[in-house]
Amino acid sequence: MKLVYFAWVRERVGHETETVSLPGEVVTVSDLLDWLKARGEGYAAAFAHPEIIRVAIDRKHVAHDMELPPDGEVALFPPMTGG
């Protein structure tokens, strides 16, 4: 699965994109956020408050209880500040 990060999530994680293989117990977006949080210092800083992180699967906004697809692009980012 391809992960992409934006804004301060990207800065804290330390890279823009990566490909990961998720363990079987990671089923929902919420599980993914918890899994990422435990991956190291930068990740812990980026995902310290997983509830505020916005997520898009294949470029569509999704809620945290959404099940992850078997493959695809999952984007993780802070609340948006466009306009």
> Which residues here bind other proteins, judged by CB under 8 A?
4, 6-8, 56, 59-61, 75, 77-83
CA distances from 82 to 74, 78, 79 (A): 20, 12, 10
Q: What does the block give as tokens for 75?
A: 């984007």
Q: What does the block give as tokens for 56?
A: 């898009």
Nearer to other proteins, 10 or 37 (CB): 10
Nearer to other proteins, 22 or 56 (CB): 56
Residues 25, 52: Cα–Cα separation, whole Å: 22
Nearer to other proteins, 5 or 43 (CB): 5
Cβ of residue 6: shortest distance to other proteins, in angstroms?
A: 6
Q: How many CA atoms lie within 13 A of 56 on its CB side?
A: 12
Cβ of residue 62: shortest distance to other proteins, in angstroms?
A: 12
Cβ of residue 4: shortest distance to other proteins, in angstroms?
A: 8
